[in-house]
Structure 1
Amino acid sequence: MSEFDDNKSPQKLDLSSLPKLSQILHKHNLSPKKSLGQHFLLNKSICSRIAESSGDLSETTVIEVGPGPGGLTRALLEMGAKQVIAIEKDKRCIAALNELALISNGRLIVKEGNALDFNFVQNIPYPKHIISNLPYNISTQLLVKWLDQSNEFSQMVLMFQKEVALRIVAKPNTSAYGRLSIYAQWLCKCEIVFDLKPNAFSPPPKVNSTIIRLTPYTEPLFKAPKEVLLRIIAAGFGQRRKKLRSSLKNAINDPEIILKNTGISSDRRAETLTLEEWCSLARECADTNLKIKRQ
Protein backbone atom coordinates (compact mmCIF):
# COMPACT_ATOMS: atom_id res chain seq x y z
CA MET A 1 0.00 0.00 0.00
CA SER A 2 1.22 3.51 -0.79
CA GLU A 3 2.05 5.78 2.11
CA PHE A 4 -0.40 8.16 0.47
CA ASP A 5 -3.40 6.04 1.45
CA ASP A 6 -6.53 6.95 -0.45
CA ASN A 7 -8.98 5.27 1.94
CA LYS A 8 -9.09 7.79 4.74
CA SER A 9 -12.35 9.14 6.16
CA PRO A 10 -13.44 12.36 4.44
CA GLN A 11 -15.11 13.73 7.57
CA LYS A 12 -14.25 17.25 8.59
CA LEU A 13 -11.97 17.67 11.58
CA ASP A 14 -12.80 19.87 14.54
CA LEU A 15 -9.56 21.68 15.35
CA SER A 16 -11.11 24.38 17.52
CA SER A 17 -9.29 23.12 20.62
CA LEU A 18 -5.85 23.62 19.06
CA PRO A 19 -3.62 26.45 20.29
CA LYS A 20 -3.71 29.64 18.20
CA LEU A 21 -1.09 29.89 15.49
CA SER A 22 0.57 32.73 17.37
CA GLN A 23 1.06 30.34 20.27
CA ILE A 24 2.50 27.72 17.92
CA LEU A 25 5.01 30.27 16.65
CA HIS A 26 6.07 31.06 20.21
CA LYS A 27 6.21 27.43 21.31
CA HIS A 28 8.47 26.38 18.44
CA ASN A 29 10.40 29.64 18.23
CA LEU A 30 9.29 30.17 14.64
CA SER A 31 10.16 33.42 12.96
CA PRO A 32 9.84 33.78 9.15
CA LYS A 33 13.09 33.41 7.25
CA LYS A 34 13.71 35.84 4.42
CA SER A 35 16.06 33.33 2.77
CA LEU A 36 13.12 30.92 2.37
CA GLY A 37 10.72 33.58 1.13
CA GLN A 38 8.52 33.02 4.17
CA HIS A 39 5.50 35.19 4.92
CA PHE A 40 3.26 33.28 7.31
CA LEU A 41 -0.49 33.45 6.70
CA LEU A 42 -2.07 33.29 10.17
CA ASN A 43 -5.54 34.71 9.55
CA LYS A 44 -8.00 31.85 9.98
CA SER A 45 -10.77 33.39 7.87
CA ILE A 46 -8.42 33.97 4.93
CA CYS A 47 -7.06 30.42 5.18
CA SER A 48 -10.63 29.10 5.19
CA ARG A 49 -11.50 31.22 2.17
CA ILE A 50 -8.55 29.77 0.23
CA ALA A 51 -9.57 26.22 1.13
CA GLU A 52 -13.21 26.88 0.24
CA SER A 53 -12.26 28.31 -3.17
CA SER A 54 -11.37 24.82 -4.34
CA GLY A 55 -14.80 23.38 -3.64
CA ASP A 56 -15.56 19.96 -2.18
CA LEU A 57 -12.33 18.27 -1.08
CA SER A 58 -13.85 15.15 0.48
CA GLU A 59 -12.58 12.89 -2.31
CA THR A 60 -9.39 14.81 -3.03
CA THR A 61 -5.75 14.51 -2.04
CA VAL A 62 -4.39 17.99 -1.46
CA ILE A 63 -0.70 18.83 -1.81
CA GLU A 64 0.42 21.90 0.11
CA VAL A 65 3.84 23.44 -0.45
CA GLY A 66 5.39 25.60 2.25
CA PRO A 67 2.78 25.14 5.00
CA GLY A 68 4.93 26.88 7.62
CA PRO A 69 3.19 26.66 11.01
CA GLY A 70 0.11 25.12 9.40
CA GLY A 71 -2.55 27.81 9.07
CA LEU A 72 -3.77 26.76 5.63
CA THR A 73 -3.16 23.12 6.55
CA ARG A 74 -5.67 23.41 9.37
CA ALA A 75 -8.22 24.98 7.04
CA LEU A 76 -7.82 22.19 4.48
CA LEU A 77 -8.37 19.53 7.15
CA GLU A 78 -11.35 21.40 8.57
CA MET A 79 -12.78 21.60 5.05
CA GLY A 80 -12.74 17.81 4.92
CA ALA A 81 -9.85 17.17 2.54
CA LYS A 82 -9.48 13.42 2.13
CA GLN A 83 -5.75 13.72 2.67
CA VAL A 84 -3.24 16.55 2.89
CA ILE A 85 0.42 16.09 1.95
CA ALA A 86 2.39 19.01 3.37
CA ILE A 87 5.88 19.60 1.95
CA GLU A 88 8.06 21.79 4.13
CA LYS A 89 11.73 22.64 3.72
CA ASP A 90 12.16 24.46 7.04
CA LYS A 91 13.09 21.95 9.74
CA ARG A 92 11.79 24.31 12.41
CA CYS A 93 8.22 23.95 11.13
CA ILE A 94 8.24 20.16 10.99
CA ALA A 95 7.64 19.71 14.73
CA ALA A 96 4.59 21.99 14.65
CA LEU A 97 3.19 20.20 11.62
CA ASN A 98 3.82 16.78 13.16
CA GLU A 99 1.75 17.81 16.18
CA LEU A 100 -1.11 18.57 13.79
CA ALA A 101 -0.57 15.26 12.01
CA LEU A 102 -0.97 13.35 15.30
CA ILE A 103 -4.58 14.50 15.68
CA SER A 104 -5.50 14.33 11.99
CA ASN A 105 -6.65 10.70 12.00
CA GLY A 106 -3.94 9.88 9.48
CA ARG A 107 -5.14 12.50 7.01
CA LEU A 108 -2.04 14.72 7.22
CA ILE A 109 1.31 13.49 5.94
CA VAL A 110 4.28 15.77 6.54
CA LYS A 111 7.21 15.53 4.12
CA GLU A 112 10.43 17.39 4.81
CA GLY A 113 12.26 18.57 1.71
CA ASN A 114 12.53 20.98 -1.18
CA ALA A 115 9.36 21.10 -3.27
CA LEU A 116 11.45 21.62 -6.41
CA ASP A 117 12.82 18.10 -5.91
CA PHE A 118 9.55 16.45 -4.88
CA ASN A 119 7.78 13.94 -7.14
CA PHE A 120 4.20 15.24 -7.31
CA VAL A 121 3.00 12.35 -9.46
CA GLN A 122 4.26 9.04 -8.10
CA ASN A 123 1.96 7.17 -5.71
CA ILE A 124 -0.37 10.12 -5.14
CA PRO A 125 -3.95 9.19 -6.10
CA TYR A 126 -6.14 11.23 -8.43
CA PRO A 127 -7.97 13.55 -8.03
CA LYS A 128 -5.25 15.68 -6.51
CA HIS A 129 -5.22 19.41 -5.98
CA ILE A 130 -2.28 21.64 -5.19
CA ILE A 131 -3.39 24.33 -2.76
CA SER A 132 -0.57 26.50 -1.46
CA ASN A 133 0.61 29.85 -0.24
CA LEU A 134 3.77 29.52 -2.32
CA PRO A 135 7.19 30.77 -1.25
CA TYR A 136 7.58 33.78 -3.52
CA ASN A 137 11.21 33.04 -4.38
CA ILE A 138 10.36 29.75 -6.13
CA SER A 139 6.71 30.26 -7.10
CA THR A 140 7.24 30.63 -10.85
CA GLN A 141 9.63 27.66 -10.96
CA LEU A 142 7.07 25.51 -9.21
CA LEU A 143 4.25 26.62 -11.48
CA VAL A 144 6.20 25.78 -14.63
CA LYS A 145 7.06 22.38 -13.16
CA TRP A 146 3.39 21.69 -12.49
CA LEU A 147 2.30 22.96 -15.89
CA ASP A 148 4.70 20.46 -17.43
CA GLN A 149 2.60 17.77 -15.67
CA SER A 150 -0.74 19.55 -15.71
CA ASN A 151 -2.73 16.47 -16.72
CA GLU A 152 -1.73 14.90 -13.40
CA PHE A 153 -3.63 17.49 -11.35
CA SER A 154 -7.32 18.17 -11.03
CA GLN A 155 -6.85 21.74 -9.84
CA MET A 156 -4.29 24.22 -8.51
CA VAL A 157 -5.19 27.03 -6.13
CA LEU A 158 -2.04 29.05 -5.61
CA MET A 159 -0.92 32.32 -4.08
CA PHE A 160 1.53 34.51 -5.98
CA GLN A 161 2.78 38.03 -5.85
CA LYS A 162 0.09 40.01 -7.62
CA GLU A 163 2.49 40.97 -10.42
CA VAL A 164 3.09 37.28 -11.22
CA ALA A 165 -0.61 36.48 -10.97
CA LEU A 166 -1.43 39.20 -13.49
CA ARG A 167 1.14 37.74 -15.87
CA ILE A 168 -0.57 34.35 -15.65
CA VAL A 169 -4.01 35.67 -16.64
CA ALA A 170 -2.82 38.47 -18.97
CA LYS A 171 -4.37 39.00 -22.40
CA PRO A 172 -2.70 40.07 -25.68
CA ASN A 173 -1.70 43.69 -26.15
CA THR A 174 -0.85 44.17 -22.50
CA SER A 175 2.55 44.59 -20.89
CA ALA A 176 1.96 41.62 -18.57
CA TYR A 177 1.26 39.23 -21.46
CA GLY A 178 4.13 36.87 -22.16
CA ARG A 179 5.51 33.36 -22.08
CA LEU A 180 3.94 32.44 -18.75
CA SER A 181 0.52 33.74 -19.86
CA ILE A 182 0.57 31.62 -23.00
CA TYR A 183 1.86 28.43 -21.41
CA ALA A 184 -0.55 28.57 -18.45
CA GLN A 185 -3.61 29.50 -20.53
CA TRP A 186 -2.79 26.86 -23.16
CA LEU A 187 -3.02 24.14 -20.52
CA CYS A 188 -5.40 25.51 -17.88
CA LYS A 189 -8.41 27.67 -17.27
CA CYS A 190 -6.87 30.50 -15.24
CA GLU A 191 -8.95 32.61 -12.86
CA ILE A 192 -8.16 35.22 -10.24
CA VAL A 193 -9.97 34.34 -7.01
CA PHE A 194 -9.12 37.27 -4.73
CA ASP A 195 -6.34 39.64 -3.70
CA LEU A 196 -4.60 39.99 -0.35
CA LYS A 197 -3.03 43.07 1.17
CA PRO A 198 0.44 42.82 2.77
CA ASN A 199 -1.00 43.13 6.29
CA ALA A 200 -2.56 39.67 5.93
CA PHE A 201 0.90 38.16 6.45
CA SER A 202 3.61 38.01 9.08
CA PRO A 203 5.86 39.71 8.23
CA PRO A 204 4.00 41.82 5.65
CA PRO A 205 5.62 41.52 2.19
CA LYS A 206 6.31 44.66 0.20
CA VAL A 207 3.80 43.67 -2.48
CA ASN A 208 0.17 42.63 -2.77
CA SER A 209 -0.67 38.98 -3.28
CA THR A 210 -3.27 37.18 -5.37
CA ILE A 211 -4.93 33.78 -5.22
CA ILE A 212 -5.29 32.11 -8.63
CA ARG A 213 -7.23 28.98 -9.53
CA LEU A 214 -5.89 26.92 -12.43
CA THR A 215 -8.05 24.08 -13.72
CA PRO A 216 -6.18 21.89 -16.24
CA TYR A 217 -7.88 21.07 -19.51
CA THR A 218 -8.20 17.43 -20.56
CA GLU A 219 -6.29 18.45 -23.69
CA PRO A 220 -4.44 21.72 -24.44
CA LEU A 221 -6.80 24.47 -25.55
CA PHE A 222 -5.37 24.42 -29.09
CA LYS A 223 -3.39 21.72 -30.84
CA ALA A 224 0.34 22.50 -30.99
CA PRO A 225 3.66 20.67 -30.54
CA LYS A 226 4.78 21.68 -27.06
CA GLU A 227 8.52 21.93 -27.67
CA VAL A 228 8.05 24.09 -30.75
CA LEU A 229 5.50 26.33 -29.05
CA LEU A 230 7.75 26.96 -26.07
CA ARG A 231 10.72 27.69 -28.30
CA ILE A 232 8.99 30.23 -30.51
CA ILE A 233 7.32 32.11 -27.65
CA ALA A 234 10.69 32.26 -25.88
CA ALA A 235 12.16 33.84 -29.00
CA GLY A 236 9.26 36.17 -29.59
CA PHE A 237 9.07 37.53 -26.05
CA GLY A 238 12.82 37.46 -25.58
CA GLN A 239 12.86 40.51 -27.86
CA ARG A 240 9.27 41.60 -27.43
CA ARG A 241 9.75 45.09 -28.87
CA LYS A 242 11.09 43.73 -32.15
CA LYS A 243 8.85 42.71 -35.02
CA LEU A 244 8.25 39.00 -35.46
CA ARG A 245 10.32 38.76 -38.63
CA SER A 246 13.33 39.67 -36.48
CA SER A 247 12.58 38.16 -33.08
CA LEU A 248 11.62 34.72 -34.42
CA LYS A 249 14.98 34.36 -36.16
CA ASN A 250 16.32 33.18 -32.82
CA ALA A 251 14.03 30.15 -33.08
CA ILE A 252 13.56 29.34 -36.77
CA ASN A 253 15.67 29.84 -39.85
CA ASP A 254 13.14 31.67 -42.01
CA PRO A 255 10.23 33.07 -39.98
CA GLU A 256 8.88 34.95 -43.02
CA ILE A 257 7.72 31.63 -44.53
CA ILE A 258 5.86 30.55 -41.41
CA LEU A 259 4.28 33.93 -40.87
CA LYS A 260 3.10 34.13 -44.49
CA ASN A 261 1.65 30.61 -44.39
CA THR A 262 -0.34 31.39 -41.23
CA GLY A 263 -1.54 34.77 -42.44
CA ILE A 264 0.22 36.66 -39.66
CA SER A 265 1.93 39.90 -40.59
CA SER A 266 5.68 39.88 -40.04
CA ASP A 267 5.35 43.48 -38.82
CA ARG A 268 3.46 42.41 -35.71
CA ARG A 269 5.10 41.98 -32.30
CA ALA A 270 4.90 39.03 -29.94
CA GLU A 271 2.51 40.64 -27.48
CA THR A 272 -0.15 41.17 -30.17
CA LEU A 273 -0.58 37.50 -31.04
CA THR A 274 -3.37 35.51 -29.42
CA LEU A 275 -2.79 32.08 -27.92
CA GLU A 276 -4.52 30.55 -30.93
CA GLU A 277 -2.18 32.37 -33.30
CA TRP A 278 0.90 31.19 -31.42
CA CYS A 279 -0.37 27.63 -31.64
CA SER A 280 -1.01 28.08 -35.35
CA LEU A 281 2.61 29.20 -35.80
CA ALA A 282 3.87 26.19 -33.84
CA ARG A 283 1.82 23.77 -35.96
CA GLU A 284 3.03 25.39 -39.16
CA CYS A 285 6.65 25.03 -38.05
CA ALA A 286 6.08 21.34 -37.47
CA ASP A 287 4.04 20.78 -40.64
CA THR A 288 6.64 22.39 -42.89
CA ASN A 289 9.51 20.61 -41.13
CA LEU A 290 11.24 23.95 -40.80
CA LYS A 291 14.34 23.61 -38.68
CA ILE A 292 13.88 24.76 -35.11
CA LYS A 293 17.03 26.24 -33.66
CA ARG A 294 18.23 24.95 -30.31
CA GLN A 295 19.09 27.26 -27.46
Structure 2
Amino acid sequence: MGIDLSTRVAIVTGAGAGLGAAHAIALAKRGARIVVADMNAEAAASVAARIEANGGEAMAVTVSVTDFAAVQAMCEDTLARWGRIDILVNNAGILRDKSFAKMDLEDFRLVLDVHLMGSVNCTKAVWDTMRAQNYGRIIFTTSSSGLYGNFGQANYGAAKMALVGLMQTLAIEGERYGIHVNSLAPSAATAMTNNLYSPEMLAGLDASMVSPAIVALAAEDAPNRAILLAGAGSFEQAHVTMTRGLYLGDGDTVADTLLDRLADIGAREGEVIPARGEEQYQYEMAARADKVNA
Protein backbone atom coordinates (compact mmCIF):
# COMPACT_ATOMS: atom_id res chain seq x y z
CA MET A 1 0.00 0.00 0.00
CA GLY A 2 2.90 2.34 0.66
CA ILE A 3 3.32 5.02 3.30
CA ASP A 4 -0.05 6.05 4.74
CA LEU A 5 -0.17 9.22 6.86
CA SER A 6 -3.95 9.58 6.92
CA THR A 7 -4.11 9.45 10.74
CA ARG A 8 -1.22 11.87 11.21
CA VAL A 9 -0.93 15.60 11.86
CA ALA A 10 2.21 17.35 10.66
CA ILE A 11 3.72 20.78 11.35
CA VAL A 12 6.08 22.05 8.66
CA THR A 13 7.99 25.25 9.37
CA GLY A 14 9.13 27.60 6.63
CA ALA A 15 6.40 25.99 4.54
CA GLY A 16 5.32 29.05 2.57
CA ALA A 17 7.73 28.35 -0.29
CA GLY A 18 10.64 26.22 -1.48
CA LEU A 19 11.48 23.05 0.38
CA GLY A 20 8.93 23.63 3.12
CA ALA A 21 6.07 23.99 0.66
CA ALA A 22 7.22 20.88 -1.22
CA HIS A 23 7.42 18.92 2.04
CA ALA A 24 3.96 20.06 3.16
CA ILE A 25 2.40 19.12 -0.17
CA ALA A 26 4.16 15.73 -0.24
CA LEU A 27 2.98 14.87 3.28
CA ALA A 28 -0.56 16.00 2.43
CA LYS A 29 -0.60 13.72 -0.62
CA ARG A 30 -0.04 10.83 1.79
CA GLY A 31 -3.06 11.93 3.84
CA ALA A 32 -1.48 13.95 6.65
CA ARG A 33 -3.26 17.02 7.95
CA ILE A 34 -0.81 19.89 7.63
CA VAL A 35 0.04 22.97 9.65
CA VAL A 36 1.67 25.30 7.13
CA ALA A 37 3.86 27.49 9.33
CA ASP A 38 5.63 30.51 7.88
CA MET A 39 6.43 34.13 8.69
CA ASN A 40 4.75 35.16 5.43
CA ALA A 41 1.01 34.94 6.03
CA GLU A 42 0.08 35.19 2.35
CA ALA A 43 2.55 32.47 1.35
CA ALA A 44 1.36 30.12 4.11
CA ALA A 45 -2.27 30.67 3.13
CA SER A 46 -1.46 29.97 -0.51
CA VAL A 47 0.17 26.62 0.27
CA ALA A 48 -2.68 25.65 2.61
CA ALA A 49 -5.21 26.53 -0.09
CA ARG A 50 -3.31 24.43 -2.62
CA ILE A 51 -3.41 21.44 -0.28
CA GLU A 52 -7.13 21.87 0.33
CA ALA A 53 -7.82 22.27 -3.39
CA ASN A 54 -6.31 18.81 -3.85
CA GLY A 55 -8.58 17.30 -1.21
CA GLY A 56 -6.30 17.62 1.81
CA GLU A 57 -6.68 19.37 5.16
CA ALA A 58 -4.41 22.25 6.08
CA MET A 59 -4.13 25.16 8.48
CA ALA A 60 -1.98 28.20 7.74
CA VAL A 61 -0.17 29.77 10.70
CA THR A 62 1.90 32.95 10.66
CA VAL A 63 4.76 32.40 13.09
CA SER A 64 8.44 33.03 13.65
CA VAL A 65 10.22 29.96 14.97
CA THR A 66 12.36 32.26 17.12
CA ASP A 67 9.27 33.22 19.18
CA PHE A 68 8.71 30.35 21.59
CA ALA A 69 5.39 31.72 22.89
CA ALA A 70 4.06 31.97 19.36
CA VAL A 71 5.26 28.45 18.57
CA GLN A 72 3.52 27.16 21.69
CA ALA A 73 0.32 28.92 20.65
CA MET A 74 0.55 27.29 17.20
CA CYS A 75 0.84 23.87 18.83
CA GLU A 76 -2.11 24.58 21.12
CA ASP A 77 -4.22 25.62 18.15
CA THR A 78 -3.20 22.45 16.31
CA LEU A 79 -4.21 20.28 19.26
CA ALA A 80 -7.49 22.15 19.61
CA ARG A 81 -8.31 21.51 15.94
CA TRP A 82 -6.96 18.01 15.36
CA GLY A 83 -6.18 16.59 18.81
CA ARG A 84 -2.63 15.44 18.15
CA ILE A 85 0.76 16.33 16.63
CA ASP A 86 2.60 13.42 15.05
CA ILE A 87 5.19 14.94 12.73
CA LEU A 88 7.40 18.01 13.01
CA VAL A 89 9.50 19.09 10.05
CA ASN A 90 11.97 21.76 11.19
CA ASN A 91 12.64 23.45 7.86
CA ALA A 92 12.62 27.21 8.51
CA GLY A 93 15.93 28.92 7.86
CA ILE A 94 17.86 31.93 6.58
CA LEU A 95 21.27 32.66 5.09
CA ARG A 96 23.71 35.42 5.98
CA ASP A 97 26.75 34.28 4.00
CA LYS A 98 30.15 35.96 4.33
CA SER A 99 33.66 34.79 5.01
CA PHE A 100 34.31 34.53 8.74
CA ALA A 101 36.78 37.45 8.60
CA LYS A 102 34.02 39.72 7.24
CA MET A 103 31.08 38.30 9.15
CA ASP A 104 29.28 40.44 11.72
CA LEU A 105 28.67 38.49 14.93
CA GLU A 106 25.04 39.60 14.88
CA ASP A 107 24.61 37.72 11.62
CA PHE A 108 26.25 34.70 13.25
CA ARG A 109 23.84 34.84 16.18
CA LEU A 110 20.82 35.40 13.94
CA VAL A 111 21.51 32.31 11.84
CA LEU A 112 22.02 30.23 14.99
CA ASP A 113 18.82 31.66 16.47
CA VAL A 114 16.69 30.76 13.45
CA HIS A 115 18.15 27.37 12.52
CA LEU A 116 19.20 25.98 15.88
CA MET A 117 17.04 27.70 18.47
CA GLY A 118 14.10 27.83 16.07
CA SER A 119 14.27 24.04 15.80
CA VAL A 120 14.73 23.76 19.57
CA ASN A 121 11.66 25.95 20.16
CA CYS A 122 9.43 23.92 17.85
CA THR A 123 10.71 20.59 19.14
CA LYS A 124 10.29 21.62 22.78
CA ALA A 125 6.74 22.76 22.02
CA VAL A 126 5.72 19.34 20.63
CA TRP A 127 7.87 17.11 22.85
CA ASP A 128 5.46 16.55 25.74
CA THR A 129 2.56 15.93 23.35
CA MET A 130 4.55 13.31 21.48
CA ARG A 131 5.69 11.68 24.72
CA ALA A 132 2.10 11.47 25.95
CA GLN A 133 1.03 9.94 22.62
CA ASN A 134 3.95 7.50 22.66
CA TYR A 135 4.52 8.54 19.07
CA GLY A 136 6.37 11.23 17.17
CA ARG A 137 8.49 11.85 14.09
CA ILE A 138 10.85 14.85 14.25
CA ILE A 139 13.02 15.89 11.34
CA PHE A 140 15.81 18.44 11.51
CA THR A 141 17.14 20.10 8.38
CA THR A 142 20.90 19.83 8.47
CA SER A 143 23.21 20.60 5.53
CA SER A 144 26.33 19.42 3.75
CA SER A 145 27.72 22.82 4.77
CA GLY A 146 27.58 21.63 8.37
CA LEU A 147 28.59 18.05 7.70
CA TYR A 148 31.49 18.89 5.39
CA GLY A 149 32.00 22.68 5.39
CA ASN A 150 31.47 25.38 2.80
CA PHE A 151 33.30 28.67 2.26
CA GLY A 152 31.40 31.68 3.57
CA GLN A 153 29.00 29.68 5.72
CA ALA A 154 30.62 29.45 9.15
CA ASN A 155 27.39 30.55 10.85
CA TYR A 156 25.13 28.32 8.76
CA GLY A 157 27.49 25.34 9.01
CA ALA A 158 27.78 25.68 12.79
CA ALA A 159 24.00 25.78 13.18
CA LYS A 160 23.44 22.85 10.86
CA MET A 161 26.00 20.61 12.55
CA ALA A 162 24.58 21.58 15.94
CA LEU A 163 21.27 20.13 14.80
CA VAL A 164 22.94 16.78 14.20
CA GLY A 165 24.18 16.82 17.79
CA LEU A 166 20.68 17.71 18.97
CA MET A 167 19.27 14.84 16.93
CA GLN A 168 21.73 12.35 18.42
CA THR A 169 20.62 13.02 21.99
CA LEU A 170 16.89 13.52 21.36
CA ALA A 171 16.78 10.25 19.42
CA ILE A 172 18.12 8.50 22.51
CA GLU A 173 15.79 10.31 24.92
CA GLY A 174 12.72 9.94 22.70
CA GLU A 175 13.08 6.30 21.69
CA ARG A 176 11.32 4.89 24.75
CA TYR A 177 8.32 7.11 23.94
CA GLY A 178 8.07 6.08 20.30
CA ILE A 179 9.66 9.32 19.10
CA HIS A 180 12.08 8.97 16.20
CA VAL A 181 14.39 11.88 15.44
CA ASN A 182 16.28 12.17 12.16
CA SER A 183 18.05 14.74 9.99
CA LEU A 184 17.91 15.60 6.31
CA ALA A 185 20.57 17.44 4.30
CA PRO A 186 18.84 18.67 1.12
CA SER A 187 20.20 19.92 -2.19
CA ALA A 188 17.53 22.03 -3.85
CA ALA A 189 16.89 25.15 -5.84
CA THR A 190 15.11 27.59 -3.56
CA ALA A 191 15.08 31.32 -2.96
CA MET A 192 17.65 30.74 -0.23
CA THR A 193 20.08 28.83 -2.45
CA ASN A 194 19.56 30.13 -5.98
CA ASN A 195 22.69 32.25 -5.85
CA LEU A 196 24.81 29.24 -4.91
CA TYR A 197 24.21 27.19 -8.05
CA SER A 198 24.55 27.65 -11.81
CA PRO A 199 21.39 27.70 -13.98
CA GLU A 200 22.30 24.24 -15.27
CA MET A 201 22.48 22.83 -11.75
CA LEU A 202 19.27 24.55 -10.68
CA ALA A 203 17.35 22.81 -13.44
CA GLY A 204 17.96 19.44 -11.80
CA LEU A 205 17.44 20.49 -8.20
CA ASP A 206 13.68 20.87 -7.87
CA ALA A 207 12.62 20.95 -4.22
CA SER A 208 9.98 18.28 -4.78
CA MET A 209 12.75 15.78 -5.50
CA VAL A 210 13.93 16.08 -1.88
CA SER A 211 10.52 15.61 -0.26
CA PRO A 212 10.33 11.80 -0.62
CA ALA A 213 13.01 11.70 2.10
CA ILE A 214 10.72 13.71 4.38
CA VAL A 215 7.82 11.34 3.71
CA ALA A 216 10.04 8.35 4.53
CA LEU A 217 11.33 9.95 7.74
CA ALA A 218 7.76 10.81 8.74
CA ALA A 219 6.51 7.27 8.25
CA GLU A 220 5.62 4.82 11.01
CA ASP A 221 8.56 2.64 9.90
CA ALA A 222 11.00 5.58 9.89
CA PRO A 223 14.50 4.96 11.21
CA ASN A 224 15.89 6.67 14.30
CA ARG A 225 19.10 8.80 14.28
CA ALA A 226 19.58 8.71 10.50
CA ILE A 227 21.25 11.52 8.57
CA LEU A 228 19.87 11.38 5.04
CA LEU A 229 21.11 13.46 2.12
CA ALA A 230 18.82 14.14 -0.83
CA GLY A 231 18.86 16.03 -4.09
CA ALA A 232 18.15 15.66 -7.80
CA GLY A 233 16.45 12.31 -7.15
CA SER A 234 19.51 10.83 -5.40
CA PHE A 235 19.61 9.79 -1.75
CA GLU A 236 22.62 9.11 0.47
CA GLN A 237 23.34 8.65 4.18
CA ALA A 238 26.00 10.27 6.35
CA HIS A 239 27.49 8.76 9.51
CA VAL A 240 29.50 10.06 12.44
CA THR A 241 32.01 7.26 12.96
CA MET A 242 34.91 6.38 15.26
CA THR A 243 38.05 4.65 13.97
CA ARG A 244 39.77 1.82 15.79
CA GLY A 245 42.66 4.14 16.54
CA LEU A 246 45.82 3.28 18.43
CA TYR A 247 46.74 3.05 22.10
CA LEU A 248 49.77 5.30 22.64
CA GLY A 249 49.85 5.46 26.44
CA ASP A 250 51.27 8.50 28.22
CA GLY A 251 54.61 10.25 28.41
CA ASP A 252 56.51 13.19 27.00
CA THR A 253 56.71 11.87 23.43
CA VAL A 254 53.05 10.86 22.94
CA ALA A 255 52.21 14.08 21.07
CA ASP A 256 55.08 13.49 18.65
CA THR A 257 54.06 9.88 18.07
CA LEU A 258 50.44 10.94 17.64
CA LEU A 259 51.34 13.41 14.93
CA ASP A 260 53.56 10.90 13.17
CA ARG A 261 50.89 8.21 13.20
CA LEU A 262 47.76 10.24 12.37
CA ALA A 263 47.27 8.24 9.18
CA ASP A 264 47.17 4.99 11.19
CA ILE A 265 44.87 6.51 13.80
CA GLY A 266 42.54 7.74 11.07
CA ALA A 267 42.50 4.48 9.10
CA ARG A 268 38.87 3.63 8.45
CA GLU A 269 39.08 -0.16 8.41
CA GLY A 270 36.91 -1.48 11.22
CA GLU A 271 35.47 1.91 12.16
CA VAL A 272 32.25 1.89 14.20
CA ILE A 273 29.20 4.09 14.75
CA PRO A 274 28.86 4.51 18.52
CA ALA A 275 25.33 4.10 19.85
CA ARG A 276 26.05 6.45 22.76
CA GLY A 277 28.66 9.08 23.55
CA GLU A 278 30.03 7.08 26.48
CA GLU A 279 31.20 4.38 24.08
CA GLN A 280 34.24 6.56 23.30
CA TYR A 281 35.71 6.44 26.79
CA GLN A 282 34.58 2.84 27.33
CA TYR A 283 36.53 1.89 24.20
CA GLU A 284 39.55 3.91 25.32
CA MET A 285 39.57 2.40 28.80
CA ALA A 286 39.30 -1.08 27.32
CA ALA A 287 42.23 -0.36 24.98
CA ARG A 288 44.28 0.81 27.95
CA ALA A 289 43.37 -2.24 30.00
CA ASP A 290 44.30 -4.56 27.13
CA LYS A 291 47.71 -2.94 26.85
CA VAL A 292 48.41 -2.81 30.55
CA ASN A 293 47.33 -6.42 31.09
CA ALA A 294 49.10 -7.77 28.02
User: TM-score per shorter chain, which class?
Assistant: 0.3 to 0.5
Query: What is the TM-score with the length of structure 2 in the denominator?
Result: 0.41
Q: Which has the higher helix share?
A: 2
Query: What is the TM-score with the length of structure 1 in the denominator?
Result: 0.41
